Amino acid sequence: MIYYTQIDSPVDTITLTSDGAALTGVYMNEHKHAVLFADEWIRDDQAAPFPEAKRQLEEYFAGARTEFDLPLAPSGTPFQQTVWSTLREIPYGETITYGALAARLGNPNASRAVGLANGRNPISIIVPCHRVIGANGKLVGYGGGLGCKEILLATEKQHPQ
């Protein structure tokens, strides 16, 4: 069973998905790799962990939260899972290049594969794929759009911890 809810945010309307126990997705309306609104999905604003996820996202956008503490269940390959886990280690307000992220994973030549896995992250914001930038320091590749990525990074710079 897949549950969903939607919340308004400074970046866009965000759709949260859940298996009833953990978050399985956090998507913007124009999310590049989102699979949204299948017929069998059930809207339930109170399904776990939606109330807590909403609260934590509101705190994040207000600058009062730098880390999320939510049950997560992203679906992906073992390599994607490793990349997404490593993304959660990037400190609030900081950025890292795809190459540096690949090096952290033990393979500095895997920046393309890391970029592809980063782009498939189903739990945006909470798993901070927006903190990964191009080798030249420019903002590149964000599933929710570069405008959303800019807002997320600006939010973190506006509220340093």
| 3-class secondary structure, 28 | strand
- Check if CATH label 2.60.120 holds for domain 2-62: no
Tokens at 69, concatenated: 């503490």
The CATH class, in words, for 78-158 is mainly alpha
Listed by start position, the domains of the chain span 2-62, 78-158
Q: Give residue 161's pLDDT.
A: 67
Sort 117 into a burial class: Cβ within 10 Å, 0-12 / 13-18 / 19+.
buried
Catalytic residue among 125, 129, 148, 151: 129
129 has catalytic annotation: yes
Average pLDDT for runs of 10 along the chain of length 161: 94 93 90 69 96 97 95 97 97 94 93 92 95 85 79 88 67
Instruction: Name the pairing type of β-strands 96-97 and 132-133.
Output: parallel
